[in-house]
Amino acid sequence: MNRKSGPQIRSGYLSVFRALAISMLACAAAPNSLLAAGNRTLSNPVQQADDFYLGRRNLENVKAGLRLLSREAAEKPTEYEVWWRISMFTCYLARHTTGPAVMEYLQVGIDAGRKAVAIDSNRPEGHFWLGANLGLTAEKRSFLKALTMVDSIRKELEAVVRLDPDYEQAAGLRTLGRLDYRAPFFKGGDKRKSVELLEEALERYPRNSMTMLYLADTYMALGRRKDAHDQLERIVNLCPDPIYGPEQEENQEIARDRLTRWTTAGN
């Protein structure tokens, strides 16, 4: 049996956390949560921040919304609606930023997510965005440090599924499925369990492009090549999504690239 060298093993496991971070952060931009917030009483600054976030293709809009939320948090330090949004906004900025600012955004997001969970642990938003920021942080940390974060990430995602399996079009199920696909076996990785979770998420939301993308990867890893190609073709042929437009466009680009690469490789 061939053995991988230490650097090869480390490189392989680090890819777990890179992919995990992508899976957690690209899965949902949370516009559904913002629209659903109409059922709650929100302050004007929070409503304005939500409006800015809907224009997230321009990062300056996200930054403007974050400034509003930060001022609101200073005035209302126990307001759950403010803290989970700060965690979400900083997560998005970290994903679309380079340099030292990335870790700064992530730390703010982690702190905000923890505050949200401390204020109300019975709602999914704080748990999800705390987990998302932890996931991106794991990507940036050393190999051993990243491994130690897997259990914390899983804990937050499991809380999301327990509290609201439909949150952000089954984001908790979807991201747990991705975690089971990418994580080493000694950290709970299980590709067959990944398929179960992803297929359940897709059954709930059949047009979610991120779930299709993750399911394609897991199918391919299990040798189900036709099923994988079918999922990628579905993504490419999706009609424009009025809510998750930016995310769907990114996923369609990834799907086209994978179809090309897999076809070239004889898959």
Considering the domain 6-194, what is its CATH architecture? Alpha Horseshoe (1.25)
**Nearest Cα residue to 221 out of 22, 21, 15, 6:** 15
Residue 23 predicted with pLDDT over 60:
no
Map 210-252 to HEC letters. Answer: HHHHHHHHHHHHCCCHHHHHHHHHHHHCCCCCCCCHHHHHHHH
**What per-residue confidence (pLDDT) applies to 219?**
97
Region 99-117: what's the mean pLDDT?
97
Percent helix / strand / coil, the chain, rounded to 5: 75, 0, 25
120-130 pLDDT, tens per residue? Answer: 999 999 999 99
pLDDT of amino acid 28: 46
The domain ranges of the chain are 6-194, 206-267
Percent of the chain with pLDDT over 90: 67
pLDDT for 202-216, tens place per residue?
999 999 999 999 999
When pLDDT is cut at 50, 70 and 90, the band that residue 135 belongs to is: confident
Confidence (pTM)? 0.83
**Contact present, 210 and 247 (Cβ < 8 Å):** yes
